[in-house]
Amino acid sequence: MPDLALLQARNAARWHNAKLTRASEFGPVAVRLVAPPAKARYRAIEARTGVPWFFIAVAHQRESSQDWSRSLAQGDPWNRTSTHEPKGRGPFASFEDAAVDALKNCAPYAARNTDWSIGGLLTMLEQYNGLGYSNRGLASPYIWSGTDQYLKGKYIADGKFDPTVVDKQLGCAGLIVAMMQIESSIKFGPDDEPAVVAMKPLIAPSAPSPVKGSISAVIAGFLSSIFKRAA
């Protein structure tokens, strides 16, 4: 069993030193995760569990690319009994009910956590995915993919590790950094701010001007905020 206090310290140190290596990919995903309809659903789960909504958002992205038909626990359909770990959960009446079950009733029982500092939050996310990487002395791609803290190595199935595979998904830490650029409610202590340079490589995409009031216009406004803050 890893020393969780040591892992928390390591994750906090990585957070302070990390630079995004796939920066242009994080912004659009962050916009989707903080969009008002999604945020409202995550907030509703936070109210039932005490788990910060942005923890729920990035776990949702990692588990199923924010697919609302899939469970937060492992990405299986929530309207059926799960076949991946944790197995035997459900079926549930809604994504929200499945998420509450995952956070309250499944290891590592995130709803019981009381330390939501950046080190505590990232370590809880790592436990949520599994401590196999920490057991190997590696940075978890679940947290650090898309940053310079992760190079390669991935569990390609439950219990099956391949040291040559590079995780193509975006990690939770970089997603949180990107979300913080456009969502002021995501805050940590004064000693837990990410590296300011982390968002510098972002390049604003060129696209036709969206119709005022449309969903595209709302997303464009979020993206504009990212690029202004990153400049």
| Residue 208, pLDDT above cutoff 90 | no
Q: Where is pLDDT greater, at 118 or 196?
A: 118
Q: Please name the residue that has the structure tokens 């595979």.
A: 165
Model-level pTM? Answer: 0.83
Q: Would the CA dihedral through 18, 50, 44, 86 be positive or negative?
A: positive
Please, where are the H alpha helices in 50-163?
Answer: 53-64, 95-105, 118-129, 132-135, 141-144
Q: What is the dihedral of CA 136, 148, 153, 63, to 10 degrees?
A: 100
Per DSSP, 88 falls in state T
pLDDT tens by residue, 83-107: 999 999 999 999 999 999 999 999 9
| Residue 196, pLDDT above cutoff 70 | no
pLDDT tens by residue, 160-178: 999 999 999 999 999 999 9
Q: Where is pLDDT greater, at 66 or 188?
A: 66
pLDDT tens by residue, 30-56: 999 999 999 999 999 999 999 999 999
Cα-based angle 87, 125, 203 (whole degrees, multiple of 5): 120
Q: Which residues lie below 8 Å from residue 56, measured CB to CB, with a gap of 6+?
A: 42, 45, 46, 72, 99, 103
pLDDT tens by residue, 104-149: 999 999 999 999 999 999 999 999 999 999 999 999 999 999 999 9
* Start-to-end Cα distance in the chain: 43
Give backbone dihedrals phi and psi of 104, rounded to 5 degrees, phi first: -95, -40
The answer to whether the CB of 48 falls within 8 A of the CB of 100 is yes
